[in-house]
C-alpha cells in the first residue's frame, strides 16, 4: 500500500490505517480475542502499518489486544494510542494532568508490549489543564524515549497552536468524512500552515456512508449509535440522499460506497491518512481497496456540487457526551 508522511514529522504510515476501537468498544459486544488478533494481523499482511487504539477503549483492553496482535512485527508498524480521561472512562470526565499522562503512558507501554509509543494523542482537550502543561508532559516523555510523536484529537485551532509552540504536533485526529466536513473550514488550513498531518476517524460516517444502514436498521445493545442524534430514524431517512449520491459515483467507477468515501478523503490532501475500523475481514479488504481508486478533479467537483444541495441533519454526539469530551 502507498505510504504517507504525517506533516513534516517524518512519521510514515500506510495511506489507510486501522481504527481498532470497534473490536472491543462502542459498537456492541466486543470481538473475541482470537478474531481480533487475526483481523489486525490480516490488515498487516495486506499492507496496513498504522494502528489506532486508546486507553478509553475498554480501559486498556483494546491496547492489550493490539499489543498481542502486532508483537511478531512490532518494528514494522506505527502504534497510536491516547490519554485523557479519568481512569480511562469517558463517563468520568477529562484528565490531562501531567501526572496522569505519565501514568497512562506507562500503563499503555505495558499493555502494548512495547518500549515506545509511536504517536501519543491527547484524546480530548482538557479545559482544566493548560495546554502548555500537556504538551510539556508529552515533550518530557519524548525526551525520555517513551514516546516518538505527539498528537491531538478533536482539538480546536487555538489549542493546536498553543501545543505546537511547546512540542511540535505530528498529527491531529478528528472526525472527517463526506458526512462531516466541518474540519474544512478552519482546521485543514491550519494543519497545512503548521505542517501537521491529519488522521480522520469515522471516515465512513460510523458506517452510514456504506449504504448498509437505513431507517430500518436495528443497532446491537451497547452500540453507541443508539444515542447519537444523527442515527435517529428520521435523520437516517433524511440523510439517505447523501448515501444515494455516493452510490451514483460508486456505480460509475464499479466500486463500493465505502471505497468512494475513502478515496475522496485520500484525494483531499497527501498528508491525510484515514483510519476506518471494522471487525470483518471482507470489510477490511474492501476498505483497503479504496487506496487503488483514483478520483478525477471532475469526480471531486461532482461530489462537491451534489453535496452542496443536500442539507444533512442531526448532531454527531448527544449533548451529555459533548460536555464530557470537552466539546
Active-site amino acid positions: 57
Instruction: Please answer whether residues 49 and 16 qualify as being in contact, where contact means their C-beta atoms are separated by less than 8 angstroms.
Output: no
Instruction: Please answer whether residues 89 and 59 qualify as being in contact, where contact means their C-beta atoms are separated by less than 8 angstroms.
Output: yes
Phi-psi region of 7 (alpha: psi -120 to 50; beta: other; left: phi over 0): left
The single residue listed with the C-alpha cell 472512562 is 89
Q: Among positive and negative, which fits the CA dihedral 290, 236, 312, 184?
A: negative
Return the axis-axis angle of helices 257-268 and 281-289, rounded to nearest 10°: 50
Instruction: Please answer whether residues 112 and 79 qualify as being in contact, where contact means their C-beta atoms are separated by less than 8 angstroms.
Output: yes
Q: Rg of the Cα trace of the chain?
A: 19
Amino acid at each position: 500500500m502507498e505510504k504517507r508522511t504525517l506533516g513534516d514529522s517524518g512519521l510514515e504510515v500506510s495511506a489507510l490505517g486501522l481504527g481498532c476501537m470497534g473490536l472491543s468498544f462502542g459498537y456492541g459486544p466486543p470481538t473475541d480475542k482470537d478474531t481480533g488478533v487475526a483481523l489486525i494481523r490480516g490488515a498487516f499482511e495486506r499492507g496496513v502499518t498504522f494502528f489506532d487504539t486508546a486507553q478509553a477503549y475498554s480501559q486498556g483492553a483494546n491496547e492489550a489486544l493490539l499489543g498481542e496482535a502486532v508483537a511478531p512485527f512490532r518494528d514494522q508498524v506505527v502504534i497510536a494510542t491516547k490519554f485523557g480521561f479519568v481512569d480511562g472512562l469517558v463517563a468520568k470526565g477529562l484528565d490531562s494532568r501531567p501526572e496522569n499522562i505519565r501514568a497512562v503512558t506507562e500503563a499503555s507501554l505495558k499493555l502494548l508490549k512495547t518500549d515506545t509509543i509511536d504517536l501519543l494523542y491527547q484524546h480530548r482537550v482538557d479545559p482544566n489543564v493548560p495546554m502548555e502543561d500537556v504538551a510539556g508532559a508529552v515533550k518530557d516523555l519524548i525526551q525520555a524515549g517513551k514516546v516518538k510523536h505527539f498528537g491531538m484529537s478533536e482539538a480546536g485551532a487555538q489549542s493546536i497552536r498553543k501545543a505546537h509552540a511547546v512540542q511540535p504536533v505530528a498529527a491531529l485526529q478528528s472526525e472527517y468524512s463526506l458526512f462531516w466536513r466541518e474540519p474544512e473550514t478552519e482546521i485543514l488550513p491550519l494543519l497545512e500552515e503548521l505542517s501537521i498531518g491529519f488522521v480522520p476517524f469515522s471516515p465512513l460516517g460510523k458506517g452510514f456512508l456504506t449504504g448498509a444502514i437505513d431507517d430500518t436498521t436495528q443497532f446491537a445493545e451497547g452500540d453507541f449509535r443508539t444515542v447519537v442524534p444523527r442515527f435517529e430514524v428520521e435523520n437516517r431517512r433524511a440523510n439517505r440522499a447523501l448515501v444515494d449520491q455516493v452510490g451514483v459515483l460508486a456505480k460509475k467507477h464499479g466500486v463500493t460506497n465505502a471505497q468512494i468515501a475513502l478515496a475522496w478523503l485520500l484525494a483531499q490532501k497527501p498528508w491525510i491518512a484515514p483510519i476506518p475500523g471494522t471487525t470483518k475481514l471482507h470489510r477490511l479488504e474492501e476498505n483497503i481497496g479504496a487506496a487503488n481508486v483514483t478520483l478525477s478533479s471532475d469526480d471531486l467537483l461532482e461530489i462537491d456540487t451534489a453535496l452542496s444541495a443536500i442539507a444533512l441533519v442531526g448532531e454527531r454526539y448527544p449533548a451529555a457526551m459533548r460536555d464530557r469530551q470537552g466539546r
